[in-house]
Amino acid sequence: IIPTILFVIFSRFNIRQETRYMLLGNALLSDLSYLLFYTLSAALNAAHLHLPKEACVLLLFLLAVAYCGGLFTAAVIVLDTYIAVLFPLRYIAILPPSRTKKIIVLLWMCSGAFPGIFFLVLWSTHSFVPCVLETCSVPVILILTLNGTDAVKLCFWLSTTVIFLCLSVIFCCYALLYFKTKHSGIWESICSRASVTFLMHNTVLFFYFFPLLALFVESFLCVNVVIRLETGILVSLTVCNVLMILPKVLFPFLYGLRYREISASLKCIVRRKQLHLVS
């Protein structure tokens, strides 16, 4: 469904010129890239193919860039919703399409620079974990990272802090939206569009937040030798292979198909007939 929604967004001029659809397309592109790279990594591990150190580092870097791109774009989508709801008359002036394109370019630059700095630090200190691994597996590397040098641990905790700051911004914006609009009447019915949209967005955010929280708790317990290494690897495998993939699977259905223009365009593609506007 992700390539289909991306085709609809990029093939229709009126859709790809709107800020919300441009951000949605960027988020879906990041999620699709992450899924492809992670599937490639899982397939190589399942086939018992050992990657060279340079190829493993490159694959981990691309995974980090794709994940950061999706996370940063999700935060900007929430900020876009916040501005659209609270400043409707100034929304076009604040976020025109030209400025949105610059924001998307900035997001990709930050997504590449943020993991790139940490990878360079690890490489310069000669403490990069994949050099001692035979399997380029993200869960295994996460566990071994916590048992590595102080530079590796510092990079891990800094990355965790940045991710939780992004998620905190997202939740704060949604909380402010709720408290500032709760007296406007859009929350009166539990089946209203605002209530359903709010519930769906928070469902996706919960599935983004919960795996990271589980990984953080599991890492803390593993560092303090509360759980065994085998148990930590099993928990990390479950989190990375299931829980972190789940929100990327739900995102196109709960976000993309929620927009009327995209769902109508998809129906037209399925029915193979043109969409005619009726006044």
- CATH code: domain of residue 226: 1.20.1070.10
d(CA 45, CA 152): 24
Nearest to 110 by CA among 77, 64, 142: 64
Is residue 194 included in any domain, yes or no? no
Is residue 196 included in any domain, yes or no? no
d(CA 174, CA 81): 9
Question: What is the domain count for the chain?
Answer: 1
Is residue 279 included in any domain, yes or no? no
Is residue 278 included in any domain, yes or no? no
Model's pTM, two decimal places? 0.81
Is residue 243 included in any domain, yes or no? yes
Domain of residue 130, residue span: 1-185+204-272
pLDDT digits 0-9 by tens, 93-151: 888 888 999 999 999 998 888 888 777 776 766 555 544 455 677 766 666 666 666 77
Nearest to 241 by CA among 51, 36, 67, 42: 42
pLDDT digits 0-9 by tens, 228-270: 777 777 877 888 888 888 888 888 887 777 777 888 877 777 7
Residue 129's pLDDT is 52
Is residue 53 included in any domain, yes or no? yes
Is residue 235 included in any domain, yes or no? yes
Of residues 63 and 227, which shows the higher confidence score?
A: 63
Is residue 199 included in any domain, yes or no? no
How long, in residues, is the chain?
279
